[in-house]
Every structure is written in structure tokens, then in C-alpha cells.
Amino acid sequence: MALQLRPNCEYCDRDLPPDATDARICSYECTFCADCVETKLSNVCPNCGGGFAPRPIRPTQEWRTGVCVAKHVPSDKRVHLKYSLEDVAAHCARVRDVPPERR
């Protein structure tokens, strides 16, 4: 099963195409831009409380049979936060001082 490449930042709705080097994901594939992760979320996923890592870039060229962005098409379904910005801020403030590996 391929990683779901979501098309936008769930916080600010910025476009994050498959080759975006500033896309960040948590272990549940929640997707945010690096700016929101750093300035708004303090490296805390507002959905699960985990930390973020850079989202890998899916190869455009089929280096191995059946494995490329054309064979495993990115999602076109935009995802948005299900929590209010106030709730997200409170959640991130509560968790941000706990290192991701201890959350």
C-alpha cells in the first residue's frame, strides 16, 4: 500500500503537490506545510499529538515496474482540520514540550 499523498496543508490549505519539499506528515499521514508545523503547531500534530517528518517524494520516473507517481496517483481529496483553531492552539501548547518520541 502506497503512502497517501494529500494535496494540501490541513491548517492553511496551501497546495502541497507530490513533489513539495515542504510537506510534513505524521505517522497517520496527516499533512501540513513546514511553515504551519513550525510556526503554528510547534511540531505537534493537532489530530493525534505526534510529531512530523518530511513527506517523501514519490518518483516521477518508473525506476521499478509499477512504482511511480503515475502508477500510484496522489489523492485529490483536500483534507481540513476538524478542530477549531483555538482548540488546536490549546492542544499544541499542552503537548509541545514533550519530545515526539515520548508522546
CA distance 46 to 44: 6
Helix (H) or strand (E) segment spanning residue 31: strand 31-33
Confidence of residue 2 (pLDDT cuts 50, 70, 90): confident
CA distance 6 to 18: 8
The per-residue pLDDT for range 66-99, each reduced to its tens digit, is 999 999 999 999 999 999 999 999 999 999 999 9
In 17-65, alpha helices (H): 34-39
pLDDT tops 80 at residue 1: no
Set of cell numbers at residue 75: 489523492
Backbone phi, psi, residue 42, to 5°: 50, 40
The per-residue pLDDT for range 11-28, each reduced to its tens digit, is 999 999 999 999 999 999
pLDDT of residue 91: 97
Backbone phi, psi, residue 72, to 5°: -125, 85
